[in-house]
């Protein structure tokens, strides 16, 4: 029946959207990790150049302080994204289960499809 086919298409669309969302979150998490690693390297280089690793030292490089703050913010954002990813993963599993249920519902009654098409052809011809 048309409504069942539409339901399956809707569920497939929802599953695809959830997968895209999960992929985007994965890409953002990876990008934040890459950026944080670059900042770590810059912090290390700046500390080595200044010869000071104690962040409470009065002569600790300002750039290193700012880079540390940015890196920490990235790590916090990354942790938030990981939580969002867990929620998105759960939503994807739920959407996949609904899709499977809709597909089973559509394939359960093949006679209805045959009678629906035979009824249409009888009405036409």
The gap from C-alpha 61 to its chain's centroid, in whole angstroms, comes to 37
Burial of 99 (0-12, 13-18, 19+ CB in 10 A): buried
Q: How confident is the model at residue 109 (pLDDT cuts 50, 70, 90)?
A: low
When the pLDDT of each residue in the chain is averaged and rounded to a whole number, the result is 88
Q: How confident is the model at residue 1 (pLDDT cuts 50, 70, 90)?
A: low
Extents of the domains making up the chain: 2-116
CATH code, 2-116: 1.10.287.1490
Q: How confident is the model at residue 124 (pLDDT cuts 50, 70, 90)?
A: low
Biggest alpha carbon–alpha carbon distance for the chain: 93
H helix runs in 1-61, sequence order: 2-50
Between these two residues, 96 and 108, which has the higher pLDDT value? Answer: 96
Residue-wise pLDDT for 23-38, tens only, equals 999 999 999 999 999 9
Residues 124, 23 contacting (CB under 8 angstroms): no
């Amino acid at each position: 029946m048309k409504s069942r086919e539409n339901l399956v298409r809707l569920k497939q669309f929802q599953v695809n959207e959830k997968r895209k969302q999960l992929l985007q979150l994965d890409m953002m998490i990876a990008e934040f990790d890459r950026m944080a690693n670059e900042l770590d390297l810059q912090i290390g280089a700046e500390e080595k150049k200044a010869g000071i690793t104690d962040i409470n030292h009065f002569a600790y490089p300002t750039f290193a302080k700012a880079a540390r703050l940015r890196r920490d913010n990235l790590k916090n954002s990354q942790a938030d994204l990981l939580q969002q990813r867990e929620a998105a993963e759960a939503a994807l599993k739920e959407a996949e289960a609904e899709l499977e249920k809709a597909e089973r519902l559509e394939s359960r009654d093949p006679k209805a499809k045959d009678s629906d098409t035979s009824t249409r052809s009888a009405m036409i011809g």
